[in-house]
């Protein structure tokens, strides 16, 4: 049985090797990146079984995505599109501390995803359906695909996980907020930064107040991420906080996907709430320690390498 099913757009990723304006870059590393496939790789490395569904161009970049995900143990349902190219992501460093990411995905194969591309039996047979709010911003057909997948999962009693993953290049805060408010009641697990959470609710107060306001919309598990400052989980009415692991940050892109992967992998493994939150924070910490969106995602054996926070997880 496939434990986790996810879908969305994965793009070819060109990362500049030198720091400075992109117009002066001469050498690039070629890889891939996509929020949902990052999660699939992260869960697979932590021992879960995952499937990723998406449209790719009938081109070399589409072949790269397919082979790379297969190599990471992901069940790949990459649908070749002869009429649209694989999307592109260009990543540079304007300064040593400032990452510059640009997307070229309008009219891409991934944006043409539709309900017809999804395997309802695969979704219904899984334990978790994981989606992001990136996919519904790509196109009307992609938005319908998300709605269809969530409906199929809920009808089968499959846990539905949503990572907000707000992208301002794809839609406005007002558009994203409206879709999220319309969808959150169908979700069991919600991942969001504090800023992303406030797209959904205008609740004032602390992060704890925000988590409670988000949970009031329906999710049983609300995860509020603070980046280098740790995370807050509100599950079934009980709040927990986790302090971050201290690492040297090289590339922050992909940390949120790693956090979601760590939490979901431990949920699938039956870990207790404190452990799964700790694993989520550790996975997020590993993700930022090297270049690339997913290359540093940990395996179970890696989790022992990080020193635990001095004051641990509060319950």
**Given the DSSP bridges, would you call strands 221-225 and 189-193 parallel, antiparallel or unpaired?**
parallel
Q: How many CB atoms lie within 10 A of CB 102?
A: 12
From first CA to last CA, the distance across the chain in angstroms is 33
Of 81, 117, 251, 257, catalytic: 257
Is-catalytic flag, 257? yes
Question: Cα separation of 157 and 220, whole Å?
Answer: 14
- Judge whether 126 and 4 are in contact, CB under 8 Å: yes
Dmax (CA) of the chain: 54
For residue 215, give the DSSP letter: H
- Bridge partners of 242? 231, 313
Question: Cα separation of 163 and 133, whole Å?
Answer: 6
Question: Cα separation of 159 and 140, whole Å?
Answer: 24
**Given the DSSP bridges, would you call strands 221-225 and 231-235 parallel, antiparallel or unpaired?**
antiparallel
- Residues with a catalytic annotation lie at 257
């Amino acid at each position: 049985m496939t434990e986790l099913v996810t879908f969305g757009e994965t793009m070819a990723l060109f990362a500049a090797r030198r720091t400075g304006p992109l117009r002066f870059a001469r050498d690039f590393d070629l890889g891939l990146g996509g929020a949902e496939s990052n999660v699939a790789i992260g869960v697979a490395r932590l021992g879960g079984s995952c499937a990723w569904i998406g449209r790719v161009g009938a081109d070399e970049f589409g072949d790269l995505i397919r082979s790379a995900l297969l190599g990471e143990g992901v069940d790949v349902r990459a649908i070749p599109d002869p009429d649209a190219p694989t999307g592109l992501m260009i990543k540079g460093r304007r300064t040593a501390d400032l990452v510059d990411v640009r997307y070229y995905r309008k009219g891409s194969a991934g944006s043409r995803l539709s309900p017809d591309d999804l395997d309802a039996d695969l979704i219904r047979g899984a334990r978790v359906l994981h989606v992001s709010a990136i996919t519904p911003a790509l196109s009307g057909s992609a938005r319908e695909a998300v709605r269809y997948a969530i409906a199929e999962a809920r009808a089968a009693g499959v846990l539905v996980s949503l990572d907000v993953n707000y992208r301002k290049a794809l839609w406005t805060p007002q558009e994203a907020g409206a879709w999220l408010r319309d969808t959150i009641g169908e979700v069991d697990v919600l991942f969001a930064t504090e800023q992303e959470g406030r797209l959904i609710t205008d609740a004032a107060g602390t992060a704890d107040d925000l988590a409670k306001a988000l949970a009031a919309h329906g999710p049983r598990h609300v995860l509020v991420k603070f980046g280098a400052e740790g995370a807050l989980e509100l599950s079934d009415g009980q709040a927990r906080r986790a302090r971050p692991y201290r690492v040297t940050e090289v590339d922050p892109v992909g940390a949120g996907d790693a956090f979601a992967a760590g939490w979901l992998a431990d949920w699938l493994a039956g870990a207790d709430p404190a452990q799964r939150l700790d694993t989520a924070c550790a996975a997020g910490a590993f993700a930022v320690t090297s270049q690339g969106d997913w290359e540093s995602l940990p395996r179970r054996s890696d989790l022992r390498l990080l020193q635990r926070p001095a004051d641990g997880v509060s319950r």
